[in-house]
Amino acid sequence: NPLVEEFEPPKDRAFFADATKKNLLNAASKVTQLTPFIGTELEGIQLSQLTDSQKDELALLAAERGVVFFRSQDITIDQQYELTKHFGLQDRDPNQVDPRHVTILGRDDDIRAFANYGADFHSDHSFESNPPAYTMLRLIRTPETGGDTIWTSQTALYDKLSPHFQNLFDNLQAIHTRTHPLVRTHPVTKIKALFYNPAFIIHLEGLKGAEAAHSLAFLKEHLHSADDLTVRWKWQPGSVAFWDNRVVAHRAIPGGYNPEQREGKRTCVYGEKPFFDAAHGVRLSE
């Protein structure tokens, strides 16, 4: 069962990484930065063969670039469990047949119906006391077209705010069932990021009703208009995305394809309880 009470997770594996990430990057046949702010694709690497040092460097790369992509992976579901366990205590979903992973299926929803959970941006399980740090999604079946996923950098979203809005949001708590800071500090990079989740946030503590409603409406517009801070990934069977759930928001693009043709397996690990460090946090551009 998922953990309900806050706990202290194992030390983030990114702390153990070589800052140059030489073991991981030198093993790749090609490294592509997909956009200026988010997304790196590594070619010529099999996740099933990573050394412990390469796994640690993958964690650091995800913390810095938000999401890391791989294609043509031979990793099995049992190997995915083992790889996930390297990064911490695995988050479990009791609603799944096997609680160690979530089966991600296609959707044929209207993308404009933002009340539909999968159609809007979200970060995984932000309603938990210890939301996931790292998430891995491996696609088994994909349609020829459609079914893409997009990720947006919440570190860059924060960085693009005016100093006045940054100061305002720095001091706000958001209610997602659990209460978390609206701006969080990454424990490894120390970079500030919005921790905005339109799928789960219902109120901003300390603001009056209309103030909170307008602030949340602004944040949704800020997120949905951030095309320059976003990467869109076209899946193929065997594609894998590995992301830092603390610094990105993501959503699947539904509609326009047969949802039965899309299936993936998602695993993730618990992270620290979100925190904001006013004294030591830095902006992305600093």
User: How far apart are the C-alpha atoms of 230 and 197, rounded to whole Å?
Assistant: 16
Q: 146 is in which domain, residue-wise?
A: 13-270
The pLDDT tens digits of the residues spanning 122-173 come to: 888 777 889 999 999 999 999 999 889 999 999 999 999 999 999 999 999 9
Q: Is residue 184 a contact partner of residue 282, using CB atoms and an 8 Å limit? A: no
The answer as to whether 279 is a domain residue is no
Q: How many domains does the chain have?
A: 1
Instruction: Report the range out of 55-69, 132-146, 188-202 with the highest average pLDDT.
Output: 55-69
Query: Is the pLDDT confidence value at 82 over 80?
Result: yes
Q: Let me know if residue 3 belongs to a domain.
A: no
Distances in Å between the Cα of 82 and the Cα atoms of 55, 85, 105, 192, 241 are 11, 5, 23, 30, 16
Contact at 8 Å (CB) between 134 and 242? yes
Mean pLDDT of 221-244: 97
CA-CA distance, 41 to 28, in Å (whole number)?
Answer: 10
For the stretch 14-55, pLDDT in tens is 999 999 999 999 999 999 999 999 999 999 999 999 999 999
The region of weakest confidence among 61-65, 113-117, 212-216 is 113-117
Domain membership of residue 19 (yes or no) is yes
Is 285 a domain residue? no
Q: CA-CA distance, 3 to 99, in Å (whole number)? A: 13
Rounded to 10 degrees, the C-alpha dihedral 53/271/62/101 comes to 90
> Residue 117 sits in a domain of what CATH number?
3.60.130.10
Q: What is the mean pLDDT of the chain?
A: 89
Predicted structure pTM score: 0.92
Residue 119 above 70 pLDDT?
A: no
Residue 238 falls inside a structural domain: yes
Please report which confidence band the pLDDT of residue 111 belongs to, taking 50, 70 and 90 as the band edges: low
